[in-house]
Amino acid sequence: MSLAGKVAIVTGSGRGLGLAYAQELARQGAAVVINDVDEQVAREAVESITGAGGKAVAVVAPVGSTETAQQLVKTAVESFGGLDILVTNAGVLRDKSLLKMTDEDFDLVINVHLRGTFTCVREAYAYFKANKVAGRIITIGSPTGQRGNFGQTNYAAAKAGIVGMVRTWALEMKKAGVTANAIIPVAATAMTKTVPFFQKAVEADERGEAMPDFFRKDLGFGTADDVAGLVAFLASDAAGKVTGQAIGIGGDRLQLWSHPEAVATEYKDGGWSYEELLERFDDLFGERLQSVGETFPELPADLQPEAAGAK
């Protein structure tokens, strides 16, 4: 078992992707601190690991606050003698278009995803540094944070911010031997279940059947278990030189996302005035403007979502 003797915290791990991550880390030998806001869900997650011969305990608390972050690290140390791995998976959605999104919608998503990642990483890194642990920080991004998506101002901001923090942490943590990476998963979860485009894939997964190849290969959309192997790999000693990266995974597809780079550069003596930009911007950059959002291939006819109310 590649992670034998390691201790991991996985936030938001009572169900879905987070549970798959926790179970895979445990299968590879790590002791795991489960985290969820629902006590029964957290208890069942722990039992799914201990029942298979693994080690796990639960912390029932919402992430975001420094107090929860401290409780998670304290529980790992007191229960299993240390901490080696942090996976910040906890998240919520409050999707609405900009003019309908309330302050509360925005703040909740930012607090759980972005602040929750920040406070938990800060606490874990403090432990790593104080105890000379070459720890692993694994955060969870999203295609929405990379490309944008209609109705997800709050979620896009949080997920883009997480990847930005990862790049910074890779610089700050390098001397301590700690790695920080972001995973960009595409999988059947409670969050994707309501998207009609993925209906047939999610339904197949819920029946315990293999998803159609169109989803797994063309879209890189799969199950939670398809993502878990990458989490375990990034948590291992074998990934010690991988840091500051955004790595996409889903179905049969594995991707390395680029960092933002300038796609076109022009210079002019004396700088660029309003008048110069009016005259030249379109010629210089008009055909090189970047796209936003994701573009999917057309669904085959047999994979089209069923009409509402259809059996």
Residue 253, phi then psi, degrees to nearest 5: -105, 140
Burial class (CB within 10 angstroms; exposed 0-12, middle 13-18, buried 19+) of 171: exposed
Contacts of 240 by beta carbon, 8 Å cutoff, 6+ apart:
134, 177, 179
**What is the 3-class SS of 170-191, one letter each residue?**
HHHHHHHCCEEEEEEECECCCC
| Residues annotated as part of the active site | 142, 155, 159
Query: Strand order in 136-140's β-sheet?
Result: 56-60, 31-36, 7-11, 85-88, 136-140, 179-185, 246-250, 253-256
Which of 239, 253, 238 is CA-nearest to residue 186? 253
Asked if 223 contacts 187 with a C-beta cutoff of 8 angstroms, the reply is yes
